[in-house]
Amino acid sequence: MKRLIYLSVFLFLSALACSTTSIAASLVPSGGVLYQDYFSDPKSGWGEMNKPAGQTGYIKDTYHIFVNKPDTNIWTHPGKDYSDVRLEVSLLPVSGTLSNRMGLICRLKDDKNFYFFVISADGFYGIGKVKAGQATLLSGSEMLPSESILTGNQINQVRADCAGDKLSFYANGKLLASVNDKDFSSGDVGILAGTFDLPNTDVYFDNFVAYKP
């Protein structure tokens, strides 16, 4: 069984989004790019960290999150504010346990309220939310398997759509699941990695893009 346990490990690496973000987003046409980062610039705003729980930072034109403790999650976000958004990122687990979590965040209000979309390197996925610090899965009682997810140390291209109250998750161009939830209508975007009962997962992120649906 795949568990989802979120401990009080939170990485806040950016300033709060300014009000002009949503104003600028309103001028972008449907299908246009709201924000993108290929992680080639170490000063692009995602920050770096080195603590016993894990490390994060820019490396080889990617952004990596290393989680060094079991049942722990680390996430980061660039300080944006979007309502409807389509997110895409490439994920590469380079070392550590395959029973992990890695993926995207949308509508992050603060460290205790947001939606998440995760896959694992052993082929499972889940859509969920953290509300008032409590994590729940919206796509089922546990993470579910999918043949669309490439297992092991392979690159997966994942996509998360947050449009109205509909949340949709894709891996390598294939729809994994769609759910409906009305708790959060806007907020920041981000990336995350985490562990279950085994420590040590290292994930590289690349080609992060936020589109207007």
Q: Report the alpha-carbon distance of residue 44 to residue 28 in Å, rounded.
A: 21
Write out pLDDT tens, residues 43-76: 998 988 888 889 999 999 999 999 999 888 999 9
Domain ranges of the chain: 20-211
Report which secondary-structure segment, H or E, holds 23: helix 20-26
First to last CA, the chain: 34
Q: Report the alpha-carbon distance of residue 124 to residue 16 in Å, rounded.
A: 32
> Residue 86 forms beta bridges with which residues?
161, 211
Contact by Cβ (8 Å): 135, 112: no
Confidence of residue 22 (pLDDT cuts 50, 70, 90): low
User: For all residues of the chain together, what is the average pLDDT?
Assistant: 89
Tell me if residue 110 falls in helix, strand or coil: strand
Does 20-211 carry CATH code 2.60.120.560? Answer: yes
pLDDT greater than 90 at residue 2: no
Q: What is the pTM of this model?
A: 0.92
